[in-house]
Structure 1
Amino acid sequence: MNDDESMLDVDKIGPEQSQKLDVVLSQLVNTLQQGRNNIFDIAEDCQKHCLYLETEAERINQEVQEIIKLVDKTEKLEKLARLRLVEVSSNFRSFSENDIKQVYTNAQNLQMELANLRQKEIFVRKQRDEVLRQLKQFRQIAHKADTFLNNTGTALHILQGNVQKISESVGQAFRKQQMGMWIIQSQESERRRIARDLHDGPAQGIASMLIRLDLIGQLIRNNGERVLPEMESIKEMGRETLTDIRRIMFELKPTLVNDSGLIRTLKDYFNDYEAKYNFDIDFVIFGTEKKYDLTLEIALFRLVQEALT
C-alpha cells in the first residue's frame, strides 16, 4: 500500500468533520501557547528570586567578613589575657586576690566570647552556603526555562504556519495533530524536568569561588593557617563547575542539523550520548533518507532528544 492509498479520502469529509478538525488544531495551538506563557512566568519568578538571593548573599558575605575580623581581634585579646593570667599565676604573691580574680575572669570571658564568635561564624557560613545553593538552583531553572521557550517557539511556529494546510487535507491533519501532541508532551515533560532539575550550575559555582577568594584575602592578612583549607574548597568548586560546564556543552552540542542533516546529527548525538553515559542505543533507519524543512528537522530532533533524556 502506497502513501496515497493509506490516507483517508478527503472528498468524503464533510463540513462538520472539517470544523471539528479546525477546533482541534486551534486547541493545540492555544495549549502550546498557554504552556509557553506558564514557562515564561516561571522564568520571570526565578529572575526576581535570583535578584533577592544575590542581595542576601552579599549581605551575609559582609557579615561573615565582619565576624572574621571580630574573631581575629578577640583571638589576640584572648591570647594576651592568657599570657597575663600566666604572669599573675607565676607571681601570685605580688598581686591581690581581687587582681587575680579580675585577670582570671577577664581571660574566661574572652574565651567564652571567642567560642561564641566562632560558632556564629560557622552558622553564618552555612547560611551563606545555603543562600548560594538556592541561587544556583534558581539560575539553573531560569536558564532552562529560557532555553525551553526558544525551542517551543520553533515548534509553535511550525504548528501555526501549517494550520491552513492541515485543514485542507485530513491525512496531513492527522500527522500534524500527532506532531502537535508530541510537542505538547515534550513541553510538559520539560516543565517537570525544570521543576526538579536543581543540579549545581557553573554560574553560581564561579560566584561562590569569587566570594571565597575575597575571604582568602582576609585570611591571608589575619589568619594564614586557614588559607589552605579554603583554597582546597575553591579547587573542589572549580572541578564541580567544570563538570557542569561540560555537561551543559554536551546538552547544547547537537545544533548542526542544517549542516549535517537530521540522520547524521542523530547518529552523532547517539554516539556522544553512549560515550558520555555508557548507554547502548540501537538506531534503526527505515526507508531512504529525505531532506525536510529545517524547522521540521529541528523539531523532530528535539522530540527525539526529549524522549531519550
Structure 2
Amino acid sequence: MAAASLGPLDPLALDRILREILAAVERGREQVLAVAEHARQEHRDAARELDAVREQLATLIERVDQLGRRQQQARLRLVEISRHFHRFGEEAYRQAYEEALRLHEDWVRAQEREAQLRQRRDELERRLRRLEATVRRADEVGEHVRLAAELLSGNLGRLVGQAADLQRRLQVGLMLLRAQEEERRRLARDIHDGPAQMLAQVALRAEVCQRLLADDPDRARQELERLKALTRESLHDVRKIIFDLRPMVLDDLGLVPALRQYVAGFVDRTGLPVELVTRGAIRRLDPAVEIAVYRVVQEALNNVWKHAGATQAVVRLELAPRRLWAEVSDDGRGLDPTAARPADRFGLANMAERLAMVGGRLEIHSRPGQGTRVRLDIPLGREGGGHADSGPDR
C-alpha cells in the first residue's frame, strides 16, 4: 500500500495551532494564579487570626500569673485564719476558704484556656508555613508557564535575560524575608532573655521592698540598692539591643566611626583582639552602602567568634574616589564554603545578597587550617558615594 502523502505546510494553520497552544497555556497560567491568590487570601486570614490569638495569649498569660499570685495569697490567708481560728471565727474561715477555692478554679480554667490558645497558635503557624509553600510553588509554576508561553512566542533572547533577573530578584526577596524573620527571632530571644527577665526581677524586688518598708527599713534599703543595680543592667541591655538594631552613630557620623565603636564593643564583649585599619579619605557614603558594609562586617566578625576558633582578627576598609573595599580576616581553623552547615551557608548568602542590592560583590577565601578572608567590593558611582571629611585614618 502506498503511503499517504502530506500536503504542503500551511503557515496560517501553523499560526493557528500555535495560538491555540498559547491560549491553553495562558488558561493554565490563570488557573495557577487563581490557586496562588486563593492561598494568599487564606494566608492573610490565617495571619490575622494568628495575630489575634497571640494577643489573646499574651493577655491570658498575664492573667494566669495574676491569678496564681492571688490564689497563693488567698491560701496563705486561709492558713493564717486556720491557725488562729479562735480569734477569727468560723465565718471568716468559711469566707477565706470560698475565696481560695474560687481563685483556684479561676486559675485552673485560665490555664486550660491558655493551653487551648497555645495549641491554636501552633496549628496556625503550621498552616501558615504550608500556605507559604503553596504560594511559592504556585508562583514558580505560574512563572514557568509564562516563560513557556514567551518561548513559544519566539521571545527567547529577551526571555533569558528576564528569567535570570527574575530569579535573582526572587532569591533576593526570599533571602530578605528569611533575614527579617531571623532578625525578629533573635530580637525576641534577646529581649526575653535580657530585659524581660530583669524587669520581672525588678517587679519582684519592688514587691519585697514594699513589704519590708514598715518592718525592716534597713533591709528595704539594701533591696532598693539591688533594685537600682538591676534597673541599670536592664537599661544597658536595652541600649545594646537598640544599638544592634540600628547604631545611631552610623546615622550621625558615618561608617568608619560606627565600625570603630562596634569593634571596640566586640572586643570588650568577646575578648578576641580585633584591629581596624582604614585607608583613604573618610567621608559619608550612601546610607544603603554604609548599612550594607556595616552589617557584613558585623556578620563576618560574629562568624569569626562563633566558628573560626581564631586568636585574632583584622578589619580593613579602603575608600577610593569611586570604589570601596573591605576585608575581615582571621587566623582561625578556616572553612570550606561548599561544605558549610546550612545555617552558615545562609549567613554567607545573606552577606552576598546585602552587597548585591548595592551593586557590590562578596569573595570568601578560606582553606582548612589557614584562616578565612571575607572580602567585599562596592562601586561608589560618579560622586564616590559622599564627601570627604578628613585624611587617611589608621
TM-score by length of 1: 0.49
Higher relative contact order (CA 8 A, sep 6+): 1
TM-score between the two structures when normalised by the length of structure 2:
0.40
Which has the larger share of helix? 1
